[in-house]
Structure 1
Amino acid sequence: MTTIPFEARRFQSTAAYYARYRVPYPDRLIERIAEQTGLSAGERVLDLGCGPGQLGIAIARLTKAAVIGLDPEPEMLEAAEADAAAAGVDIAFVRGSSYDLDSRFSPLKMSVMGRSFHWMDRSATLKALDEITVADGCVALFGDRHISSTPDWRQAVNTLVKPLRRSAMPIANVGSGRIG
């Protein structure tokens, strides 16, 4: 397994794009996770690598859990704080990363990571979370696709976009984060 080197400011100046263009997590998905895990109002949830807070804000809004958002990028935390205030939820946002997990976050009922786990030292992160999570707690990873999804939606999009690539129309290069 390759570990991506940690760069605290990797996402500097991207908060506005994340907040505007990232697809939100469906309320029903979050409600189902809460039902399956028995998450109750007031229980502690850590949104690790929270970015602009989309996942943590939705969890706080829908479950009334005590959410903590942790991210190394100050601009992401500023956006998250503004969006949490606009949503009327009280979330504690902390500057830090998976390398900063310690007893101050304990006890956690749940830790969530929305499209962020791949940036972390996965083994060390899970070990640290295990030490601060209650016995019946869990870690939930959120991503863009179902683990066993078929057909691959990216392949379907690329098939549809292929004719446009031959035209003069600028299009997003699926999955690359660039236009052209």
Structure 2
Amino acid sequence: MSADGWEWDETLYAGSATHYAAGRMPYPSILAEAVRSALGLDGRGRLLDVGCGPGSSTLLLAPLFETALGVDADADADMLAEAARRADWVGAINIEWRRLRAEELPADLGTFRVVTFAQSFHWMDQDLVADRVRGMLDPDGAWVHIHASTHRGVDGDDPLPHPRPPWDRIDELVAGYLGPVRRAGQGRLPAGTRSGEEEVMRRAGFTGPTRLDVGGGQIVGRTVDEVAAAVFSLSSSAPHLFGDRLPAFQAELHELLTRSSDSGRFAERTREIDVVIWYPGSTRP
């Protein structure tokens, strides 16, 4: 439980799985290369992706390892089903998926060369998870935390091929239905998600970090449906939060988006991704 009383529950991303896969901009391929280079990965070892969702980061990084395992606290298994579907689509045969809360680790999963957290660690009991994951890492292993915002691009007024999505008005529309305080599962987050990762990691005995800045600035085209999916991919506007008002919200959102672009197309510049690498001992690989 966080300091403001918020507690994780299984409805956090209920109904968001297909929206997440369709609405989040993909991680760039250079992210995998940056991680490979920083850690000297050579195709050996195991990857564990904690809070994997529909497998966005798992699928990108799995080719760097012998095997990969994605785990997610997925109440209805929709996220993991979407991850498995996407893995089948691209022919990724070295990945397994398991429904599991991070707080349940190590769960007899063994040890790993790398454990990744991509846009997920802030939802967890951080001290508990950091302590348990440290014991799951190989002696030359690493914890890789991927900080990113892939549902929307950077703000700006530089010319793009199509209009930017009207994110300020989208936020106002969501607040009109759900209230001004950020929703998350059955609770609210008036102060946002947890911070203080560095203190957590040092308390758990990790050393580092090594920081990598990856990508950012690429122009990405988006459709009305993709931007709408991005809205529903968020814990703060997951479909279940709207209850019986969901059809009305969907209609207003669609109207807002179609009025904002005559062509039905939008464009955004991607945000930079911050990769933070921690090590389980005093010696880095």
TM-score normalized by the length of structure 2: 0.51
* Partner residue, 1:78: 81
Offset of 1:40 from its aligned partner? 2.8
User: Structure 1 residue 36: deviation in Å?
Assistant: 1.0
Cα 1:142–1:85 change in 2 (3 A) is same
Give the TM-score taking structure 1 as reference length. Answer: 0.78
* Structure 2 unaligned residues grouped into runs of 5+: 158-165, 175-181, 183-230, 232-236, 238-252, 257-285
Counterpart position of 1:7 = 9
Which amino acid in 1 is paired with 2:15?
S
RMSD: 2.8
Q: What corresponds to 1:149 in structure 2?
A: none
Map of 1:66 onto structure 2: 67
Deviation of residue 169 (structure 1)? 11
Counterpart of 1:87 in structure 2 is 90
Shift of 1:120: 0.6
SS at structure 2 position matched to 1:50 = coil
**1:159-178 to 2 correspondences below 5 Å:** 171-173=169-171, 177=231
1:115-148 CA-partner distances (Å, limit 9, x unpaired): 1111011111110100110111111111226xxx
The aligned amino acid for 2:118 is: G
CA contact (8 A) 2:46 2:65 kept: no
State which of 122, 125, 130 in structure 2 corresponds to 1:121.
125
Residue of structure 2 equivalent to 1:56? 58
Out of 113, 116, 128, the position equivalent to 1:112 is 116
Structure-2 change in CA distance of 1:53 and 1:170 (3 Å): same
C-alpha displacement of 1:102: 1.2
**How many residue pairs end up in the alignment?**
162
Distance (whole Å) between structure 1 residues aligned to residue 39 and residue 167 of structure 2: 46
Gaps of 5+ in 1: 146-152, 161-167
Q: Is the 8 A contact 1:40 1:65 kept in 2?
A: no
Alignment match, 1:135: 139
